[in-house]
Amino acid sequence: MIQISNLTKKFGSKVAVNKLNLEVKNGELFGFLGPNAAGKTTTIKLLTGLLRPTEGSIKISGYDMQKDYVKAKCLLSYIPDTPYLYEKLTAREFLRFICEIYLLDGKESQKKIEEYIEFFSLKEYENALIEEYSHGMRQKVVIIAALIHNPDIIIVDEPMVGLDPKTTKLVKDIFKSSSKNGKTIFMSTHTLSLAEEICDRICIIDNGNLIAIGTLEELRKKSGIDGRLEEIFLKLT
Amino acid sequence: MKINAFLKLWLNVIRNSIAMLKKQSLLKIYFILLCSLLFLAIEFLICYVAFSFMRGIPEVGSIIVERLMFLFYFALFLMLIFSNAIITYSTIYISKDTELLFSYPLSSGTVFRYKFIESNMLSSWAFMAILVPFMVSFGMANHADRALYIFMFLYFIPFLIIAGAIGSGLTMLLAKLLPQKKLRAVIFLISLFVALVIYKSIKRVRFEESGQTIEIFMLNQMLPNIHISHSPFLPSYWMAEGILKASLKEFKDAFYYFLLLLSTALFFTETLVNLAEKIYLISWQELHSQAREKIFCLGRGIIERIRPLFKIFGMDSRGLIIKDMKLFWREPMQWTQFVIFFGILGVYFVNIRHFSYNMLQPFWKHICAFLNLSAILLTLGSLSTRFIFPQISLEGNKFWIIGLSPLGLKKVLYGKFLASFTISFFITESLLMVSNKMLGISGLLEACFIWVILIMNLALIGLSMGLGAAFPDFKSENPAKIVSGFGGTLTLIASIGFILIAVAVTIFPFQLFLKGHISTYMDLKKAAMISMGIVSLIGIGLCIFPLLYGEKKLAAMEF
């Protein structure tokens, strides 16, 4: 569960996130939408502990992200839009490093790495250095790294960028099945059709302020538009 | 357990990098190895001859060696702190992997431990390479016991760790306490303060007041007695004193100094990790939360005002030059090195008269003038490798923007070359003029020096720019990492090699004249012209061929 209370982030005089209050429950697939520079990535970086709030707090399954950041981070995974990976490692070596960081059992993690490499069709490239990978292949490695330690919460920033249609379908299915299994998915995206298709609840922010939150039906009522999410989004922002 | 994961990470990176190296041309690898060995051998020989010469000076030989050791380790200590402070900023705050690491459940101290080892190694490897031949030559010139080499090795590690801990700690504290906007001014003021303290601690004695022979006076002046370097509270003192004791076979005392270094290194490391646990993540977060619009404005005023000066390069090249200048200005950790090294030389040259160098006999005055020229050229050589070589690489993944623009890569290369040449020529020529004026040298020697500076600027800037274009590293964003590759090492070796040749060729006719082998001024003039011809020929070759090679490589580049 993610609890965001009165969250504010300022960059100098600019308010990127303004008094945001949110609660995302276990098993929920939560869409986080907004136009460019609305404060989505800043919120995500606050959620992952990469930025410090100017005001307010974030709790990850009860752990405060500022006070108990190691415990909080143990429970979550982050999939950034432009991932950084160690260029001079192979995918297998990188994933092993992640398993060791999360103190996963050696044999079990080895088995999991094998399974995921196979599942994401990376077998052919497993011994190539990451520096030789395309953007989509890198994204696959980051997604595996996020899933491999079986986190309770997955925070995703633009998950489908660079992925081919087959992998996009695969990732969508993973998110859906994970949320059915009680995992929380917090997903920021500009792909409104994706949010419309898979999210249980959607939140729209603009200029750091929460504009609307609820299921697709609730958003339709609020906006007075009985149409696609795209139309609702354009009206509200 | 987590540190084990980082160790494995390193081992994998090193193993894969070596595997990649094996795929490259063997000739290239052997060539760079050979050049490096040659460089170390030359350094060893020069140091060995110098130590043997000093040891042979009756009565004062041992005093000079002792003073040299204290001074050397003190300077090394300061340089290591400075180098660590700069590289730490890149590795712990700018490096992209910090964002990845902080998104995992790793404590601030764990991430710092890993990054500290990385920055300490990056900052120290070049100094280690210089240190080894220096120390071995000292041991051999003093016919020291083999135990001395064991002690030297033992001293190395804690010494490097202490300097690294101070440098990294300073960077972390500055980043925590100061907003980025003020960081430039504070770093500059601290550097200025350190330079002033060192300058003030130099004991200045006029030759007339010294009561010494000219030889002893000169040696004293060339190895100034900096009191701070003799402070028993400094690790550089323990290092120097320990080595001197070990060379005298006083191993008990030598071991005592090793324990002092070791315990201090352990204490500093523990303190630093505790400090990192408290402030590293917070300072990292704060640095990434700076008011973006304000950072963006840095340097706009000054650089925009001098924009018309670059009109002669054409509108497109001017745009490129202004962009480079703004990027350079907005990276204070980069340009402070530039200011400090040339600043120290400037302060020294302006104060030459305080040292009474202008009162010296012609022989010593010439020696002094050539040493000043060498100092300017060596600073230029190392700074051109450090700043000019990475310029093309630093375009990074944005390179396609200028690559596809109508500007053309050829114009980009020569635009960067001309701008760098103009700036460095102006600085080095001004420094040389000050040195010449203060020393009171004029005429033929001054003309030769002015010409040498012009040629050396062409050669060193052309070499760095050309090889930087021929061996780019678009993946790394850290200039220190870019320079430590094959191309950067080759540039540094070629630059220093050419500086040694150029100074030797320039000094040769003047030494012959002073020793009476050339009798008339006309003959000296002819000989000097031949020297200048040789320097020009090599220098212009070193400028043109690497630039052409770089241009060819850029033209063939796919991006």
The pLDDT score that the predictor gives to residue B330 is 73
Identify the bridge partners of residue A90 per DSSP, sorted by sequence position: A129
On the question of pLDDT at B451 being above 90, the answer is yes
Compute the average pLDDT of residues B69-98: 87
Of all residues in chain A, the one with the smallest CA distance to B4 is A100
On the question of pLDDT at B227 being above 70, the answer is no
Q: How far is the C-alpha of B77 from the C-alpha of B167, rounded, in Å?
A: 10
On the question of pLDDT at B332 being above 80, the answer is no
- A23 in a domain, yes or no? yes
- Per DSSP, B473 falls in state -
Q: Which residue has the higher pLDDT, B23 or B276?
A: B276
The pLDDT score that the predictor gives to residue B212 is 61
- A116 in a domain, yes or no? no
Interface contact A12-B97, CB threshold 8 A: no
Which chain B residues touch A55 with a CB distance below 8 Å? none
- Return the residue in B8, B9, B296 with the most chain A beta carbons within 10 A, the one to mutate for interface testing: B9
- A233 in a domain, yes or no? yes
Please write the tens of the pLDDT for every residue from B145-177: 888 888 888 898 999 999 999 999 998 998 888
Confidence of residue B315 (pLDDT cuts 50, 70, 90): confident
Interface contact A12-B103, CB threshold 8 A: no
Q: Which residue has the higher pLDDT, B28 or A77?
A: A77
Q: Which residue has the higher pLDDT, B545 or B122?
A: B545
Out of B55-64, B99-108, B363-372, B471-480, the most confident range is B99-108
Interface contact B105-A9, CB threshold 8 A: no
The pLDDT score that the predictor gives to residue A226 is 85
Confidence of residue B216 (pLDDT cuts 50, 70, 90): low
Compute the average pLDDT of residues B218-230: 63
The pLDDT score that the predictor gives to residue B550 is 92
Compute the average pLDDT of residues B536-555: 92
B28: closest CA of chain A, how far (Å)? 21
Q: Where in chain B are the domains?
A: 36-178+209-291, 357-559
- A53 in a domain, yes or no? yes
Q: List residues in chain B touching A: CB distance below 8 A.
A: 1-2, 4-5, 8-9, 12-13, 16-17, 20, 96-97, 99-100, 102-107, 281-282, 285-286, 288-294, 475
Q: Lowest-confidence range among A47-51, A87-91, B240-244, B318-322? A: B318-322
Q: Among residues of chain A, what percentage have pLDDT more than 70?
A: 100
B8: closest CA of chain A, how far (Å)? 8
Of all residues in chain B, the one with the smallest CA distance to A149 is B104
The pLDDT score that the predictor gives to residue B145 is 84
On the question of pLDDT at A158 being above 80, the answer is yes
The pLDDT score that the predictor gives to residue A203 is 94
Closest to A70 (Cβ–Cβ): which among B8, B20, B107? B107
Which chain A residues touch B179 with a CB distance below 8 Å? none
On the question of pLDDT at B296 being above 80, the answer is no
The pLDDT score that the predictor gives to residue A47 is 94
Q: How far is the C-alpha of B217 from the C-alpha of B208, rounded, in Å?
A: 10
Which chain A residues touch B106 with a CB distance below 8 Å? 70, 73, 101
The pLDDT score that the predictor gives to residue B300 is 57
- Return the residue in A13, A100, A153 with the most chain B beta carbons within 10 A, the one to mutate for interface testing: A100
Q: Among residues of chain B, what percentage have pLDDT more than 70?
A: 83
Domain tally, chain A? 1
Q: Lowest-confidence range among A121-130, A164-173, B25-34, B152-161? A: B25-34
On the question of pLDDT at B199 being above 70, the answer is no
On the question of pLDDT at B136 being above 70, the answer is yes
- A30 in a domain, yes or no? yes
B390: closest CA of chain A, how far (Å)? 19
Q: How far is the C-alpha of B387 from the C-alpha of A211, rounded, in Å?
A: 49
Please write the tens of the pLDDT for every residue from A168-219: 888 899 999 999 999 999 999 998 999 999 999 999 999 999 999 999 999 9
Which chain A residues touch B99 with a CB distance below 8 Å? 50, 80, 84
Q: Which residue has the higher pLDDT, B301 or B4?
A: B4
Q: Among residues of chain B, what percentage have pLDDT more than 90?
A: 23
Confidence of residue B405 (pLDDT cuts 50, 70, 90): confident
A94: closest CA of chain B, how far (Å)? 8
Which tokens in the block code for residue B545?
A: 């061929």
Residue A12 CA, distance from chain mean position: 26
Which tokens in the block code for residue A154?
A: 């997955």
Which A residues in the span 144-173 are in contact with B, Cβ-Cβ below 8 Å? none
On the question of pLDDT at B295 being above 50, the answer is no
The pLDDT score that the predictor gives to residue A184 is 95
Interface check A87 vs B, CB under 8 A? yes
Interface check A118 vs B, CB under 8 A? no
Which chain A residues touch B104 with a CB distance below 8 Å? 73, 98, 101-102
B12: closest CA of chain A, how far (Å)? 7
Q: How far is the C-alpha of A75 from the C-alpha of A91, rounded, in Å?
A: 23
Of all residues in chain B, the one with the smallest CA distance to A97 is B5
Listed in sequence order, the residues at least 6 apart from B519 whose beta carbon sits closer than 8 Å to its beta carbon are none
pTM comes to: 0.74
Closest to A48 (Cβ–Cβ): which among B103, B107, B475? B103
On the question of pLDDT at B541 being above 90, the answer is yes
CATH number of the domain that residue A196 is part of = 3.40.50.300
Interface check A74 vs B, CB under 8 A? yes
A192: closest CA of chain B, how far (Å)? 26
Residue A203: domain span? 1-75+153-159+183-237
Of all residues in chain A, the one with the smallest CA distance to B96 is A84
Residue pair B285/A51 in contact by the 8 Å Cβ criterion? yes
Compute the average pLDDT of residues B297-303: 62
The pLDDT score that the predictor gives to residue B530 is 94
- Return the residue in B1, B3, B16, B293 with the most chain A beta carbons within 10 A, the one to mutate for interface testing: B16
What average pLDDT does chain B have?
A: 82
Confidence of residue B198 (pLDDT cuts 50, 70, 90): low
Confidence of residue B383 (pLDDT cuts 50, 70, 90): confident
Phi, psi of B264 (to 5 degrees): -65, -40
